[in-house]
Amino acid sequence: MTDRRKVALLGVPIDMGASQRGTLMGPAALRTAGITPVLESLGIDVLDHGDIALAGVAPATDAIPAKANNYRDIQTWIRALSPRAYDLARSGAIPIFLGGDHSLSMGSINGVARYWHEQGRELFVLWLDAHADYNTPLTTMTANMHGMSAAFVCGESGLDGLLGDEPRASIPPAHLDLFGIHSIDPLEKKLVQDRRIAVADMRAIDEFGVAVLIHRVIERVRARNGVLHLSFDLDVLDPGIAPGVGTTVPGGATYREAHLVMELLYDSGLVGSVDIVELNPFLDERGRTARVAVELLASLFGQQITDRPTPSNTLSEPRPAQVAKIRPTRS
Q: Which residues are catalytic?
A: 102, 129, 131, 133, 146, 233, 235, 278
- Nearest CA to 104 out of 11, 218, 1 is that of 11
What are the phi and psi torsion angles at 240 (to 5°)? -65, -20
Whether 101 has a binding-site annotation, put simply, is no
What are the phi and psi torsion angles at 46 (to 5°)? -110, 125
Are 180 and 130 a contacting pair, CB within 8 Å? yes
SS3 164: coil
Cα–Cα distances (Å) from 268 to 11, 77, 222, 263, 297, in that order, read 26, 32, 9, 9, 15
Report the Cα–Cα distance between both ends of the chain, in Å, rounded.
Answer: 53
Whether 235 has a binding-site annotation, put simply, is yes
Whether 48 has a binding-site annotation, put simply, is no
Whether 233 has a binding-site annotation, put simply, is yes
309 vs 75: CA distance, rounded Å: 43
- How many Cα atoms are found within 13 Å in the side-chain-facing hemisphere of 19? 8
- Amino acid, res. 275: D
Whether 87 has a binding-site annotation, put simply, is no
In eight-state DSSP terms, residue 124 is E
DSSP E strands, 81-197 = 94-99, 123-128, 176-181
Whether 133 has a binding-site annotation, put simply, is yes
Q: What are the binding residues for Mn(2+)?
A: 102, 129, 131, 133, 233, 235
Q: What are the binding residues?
A: 102, 129, 131, 133, 233, 235
